[in-house]
Chain A
Amino acid sequence: MTTRSSALRGSGTWNRWSGALFVAPYVAIFVLMLVIPLCIGIRLSMTRSDLFGIKEFVGLENFSRLFGDPVFLQAVWNTFYFVLLTVPVLTVTGLALALVLNHQSRWAAVLRAMFFASTVLSVAVVTLIWRLVLIPEGGLVAVLARVVGKAPVAFLGEQALAMPSIAVTTIWWGIGLPMVLFLAALQQVPRDLYEAAALDNASRARMLMSITLPSIRRTVVLVVIVEIILQFQLFGQAQLMTGGGPNNSTRPMVLFIYETGWKQWQLGYAAAAAQVLFAMIAIAAMAQYYFSSRKNAP
Chain B
Amino acid sequence: MSKFELNAEKITKVFGRRLIFKDVDFACKENGIYGISGPNGSGKSTFLKIITGIISPTKGKLTHSFEGKIIEAEQLHNFVGYVAPYVILYDEFSAVENIHFFSKIRGITFTQEKFDFLFQHFGLFDRKDDLVKGYSSGMKQRLKFIFALIHSPKILFFDEPTSNLDNSGKEKVYQTVKEESRDNIVIIASNEDSDLALCSSVLELQNFKIEKR
Indicate whether A and B interact: no
Q: Which of A's residues lie within 8 Å of B, judged by CB?
A: none
Which B residues are closer than 8 A to A by beta carbons? none
